[in-house]
Amino acid sequence: MIPLSFGQERLWYHEQTLGGSPVYNMAFSYELTGKLDLKILEESLKVIIKRHDILRTYFVKAEGKPVQAVRPEIDFFLDITNLQELPIKEKEKRAYELALEESETPFNLTKAPLWRFKLLQLDSEKSVLLVTIHHIICDHWSLSILMQELATIYQDIAAGQNVSLPPLARQYGEFTLWQNQWLEGKKNQKQLAYWEEKLGGKVSPLVLPFDQPPSPLANYQGKRQLIVLSKELTSQLKALSEEAGVTLFMTLLTGFKSVLYQYTRQEDMIVCSPIAGRHRRETKGLMGYFNNIIPLRTDLSGDPSFSGLLKRVSQTALKGYQNMDLPFQKIANLPNLKRVPLTRAMFALQHSPSDEIQLSNLTIGYPNFQHVHNGTANFELSLFLEEREGSVTGVLDYKTALFEPTTIEEMVDNFVSLLESSVTNPERKLSSLPILRDIQPREQTQVTITDTPYVAPEKEVEQKIAQVWQEVLQVEKISLHHNFFELGGNSLAIAQVTTQLQEIFKQEISIVDLFSYPTVKTLAQYLSQEEEPCNTQFKIIQNNVNQQKQARQRRKQLMKQRRNNHG
């Protein structure tokens, strides 16, 4: 059995609280134009599946902890759907519906494979390959590896040659073993010391302009708003970045933080960013989940100019890159951060795929719906950008339980306007930026931590619960009346606690149980069956848990009705 990487562990525990959600599905579409040989395509994918252990990996529990297991082989047959008989106008619509359906179908982490390949035949010269993979075994870099290897292998087989790719020197499981060993070394302590200093003192959560107050129960229903920066603006931003000696990522992040400041007036601001985590040579050609998250804390006090703020952001980012190996969860577990939601806002300038891959008789490109959104949002607000064909484009994903579409549209417009203003006059102060001068910060409900007199757990069941909370929440003493959520219990902690308690008590314990019985005393009474469940509260929470699943089912029924109407 192979241990999980810390990034995988974060996703695995989070997945336990989702109840079959597609929130971690990665779904992409690739257009194949030319003379496609279906047998060669299928054989090429078989070679890749055999080549990368991670594509045969699934997840089980050993001694109460998740571990990776690898199947020696997987029988693979390419799923093919023929759309050639449909009218021309219906083909792309039906292809999009099938892509959406794939993206909305969740995976079971205990069963391999954790991917799906589906080919849609549009006509004799054009097909679309749908690729859906769970994030726990894949990142964006991996998808580039997948398509580049697919092109090479396909070309070799078509030419009657042996596969020219060199054997992999390492597998993903070896990386996870190395990471676990690294965390015991001195470099780990050096990086930990940096984050303790950088994120020390009082850290306030980002106060986003929510239209609705956050619920204690996680909701992952989401939408996305498209963003397009003109080629002219993109060129100006790149010129500004070059003149300042920074990257385009840093300039765009400065713009994002500036917009958030105009809404929040927060001078101490954390925006998190996912990083590829592939700076070691042996990881470059491996498929797997190497991503880490780094919290980028910026001081916006003193009314800096855009160029002045850009310097602060770039310095923070450079230092963060130098200390990016420490797993995010190790940072989030620092004593002063345990009750602080760090990932309310995410920002990334992602690696964009090459425009096309040319083979002798085949071109691999990207259809209009390459990125399919499955109606979920993992974070409150996520700005994901990429540069392609000389223009920065992207999406702003958001949780619909928190934001109205008009708020997000306004934010996107303001982001673009702020960038246009900043490239024209980078010395203009934050306070004098005209686009958001009249917008007032919106109030946000904050959770109040109640001081609870310490009452020691006495019964065995109470002591076992308290011990688990102690380990997961890293709180020295757990009182009989302490509230799990007031102590800093987030979605990851919920999954860890419920998993461990299930192992100890040998009975099913769900997220609903923890919300219904959030203190040691009430949960102990429930597990001991000394008290009947509070049916009303249970039903309310259970309805919230099922809300996202029901929404997905309604969308599928609607698509089916539309297909029948056009049949």
pLDDT, tens digit, 9 for 90 and up, residues 354-404: 567 888 889 998 766 566 788 999 999 999 999 888 899 999 999 999 999
> Quick check: 551 pLDDT over 90?
no
Q: Beta-carbon neighbour count of residue 13 at 10 Å? A: 22
What does the pLDDT average to over 173-201?
A: 89
> Quick check: 196 pLDDT over 90?
yes
CB of 563 closer than 8 Å to CB of 94: yes
What does the pLDDT average to over 470-498?
A: 84
Q: How far is CA 354 from the centre of its chain?
A: 22
Question: φ and ψ at 169, to 5 degrees?
Answer: -75, -25
What does the pLDDT average to over 218-233?
A: 93
- Percent above pLDDT 70 for the chain: 88
pLDDT tens digit string along 141-156? 999 899 999 999 999 9
The 3-class SS string of 203-214 reads CCCCCCCCCCCC
What pLDDT is recorded for position 371?
67
> Quick check: 224 pLDDT over 50?
yes
> Quick check: 409 pLDDT over 90?
yes
> Quick check: 333 pLDDT over 70?
yes
What does the pLDDT average to over 535-559?
A: 54
* Max mean pLDDT range (174-178, 281-285, 448-452): 174-178
CB of 31 closer than 8 Å to CB of 126: yes
What pLDDT is recorded for position 69?
97
CB of 256 closer than 8 Å to CB of 237: no
> Quick check: 545 pLDDT over 60?
no
> Quick check: 36 pLDDT over 60?
yes
Q: Would you place residue 432 in the very low, low, confident or very high pLDDT band (cuts 50, 70, 90)? A: confident
348-385 b/e (C-beta count within 10 Å ≥ 16 → b): bbbebbeeebebeebebbbbebebbbbbbbbbbbbbbb
47-65 b/e (C-beta count within 10 Å ≥ 16 → b): bbbebbbbbbbbbeeeeeb
Alpha carbon distance 327, 314 (integer Å) = 21
- What does pLDDT average to over the chain? 87
Q: Beta-carbon neighbour count of residue 326 at 10 Å? A: 22
At 467, the amino acid letter reads: Q
CB of 221 closer than 8 Å to CB of 551: yes
What does the pLDDT average to over 135-145?
A: 93
- Check residues 532 and 303 and name the one with the higher pLDDT: 303
What pLDDT is recorded for position 549?
57
What pLDDT is recorded for position 277?
85
What pLDDT is recorded for position 488?
76
What pLDDT is recorded for position 264?
86
What does the pLDDT average to over 260-273?
A: 92
What pLDDT is recorded for position 24?
95
Three-state secondary structure call for residue 566: helix
Q: Would you place residue 437 in the very low, low, confident or very high pLDDT band (cuts 50, 70, 90)? A: very low
> Quick check: 539 pLDDT over 80?
no
What does the pLDDT average to over 51-57?
A: 98
- Check residues 169 and 561 and name the one with the higher pLDDT: 169
What pLDDT is recorded for position 557?
66
Domains and CATH numbers, the chain: 2-173 (3.30.559.10), 200-358+373-436 (3.30.559.30), 460-531 (1.10.1200.10)
Return the residue matching tokens 């702020």. Answer: 418
What does the pLDDT average to over 44-61?
A: 97
Helices 306-322/186-198 angle, 10° precision: 150
Read off the DSSP letter of residue 432: G
Computed from CA positions of residues 3, 5, 6, 12, in that sequence, does the dihedral angle turn out positive or negative?
negative
- Specify the pairing of strand 391-399 against strand 222-228: antiparallel
The DSSP secondary structure of 147-191, one letter per residue, reads: HHHHHHHHHHHHTT----SPPPS--HHHHHHHHHHHTTSHHHHHH
What pLDDT is recorded for position 116?
98
What does the pLDDT average to over 282-308?
A: 94
> Quick check: 538 pLDDT over 50?
no
**CB-based burial label for 117 (10 Å; 0-12, 13-18, 19+):** buried
Q: How far is CA 442 from the centre of its chain?
A: 26
**CB-based burial label for 536 (10 Å; 0-12, 13-18, 19+):** exposed
Alpha carbon distance 365, 33 (integer Å) = 8
Q: Would you place residue 511 in the very low, low, confident or very high pLDDT band (cuts 50, 70, 90)? A: confident
At 460, the amino acid letter reads: E
The 3-class SS string of 285-303 reads CCCCCCCEEEEEEEECCCC
Q: Would you place residue 175 in the very low, low, confident or very high pLDDT band (cuts 50, 70, 90)? A: very high
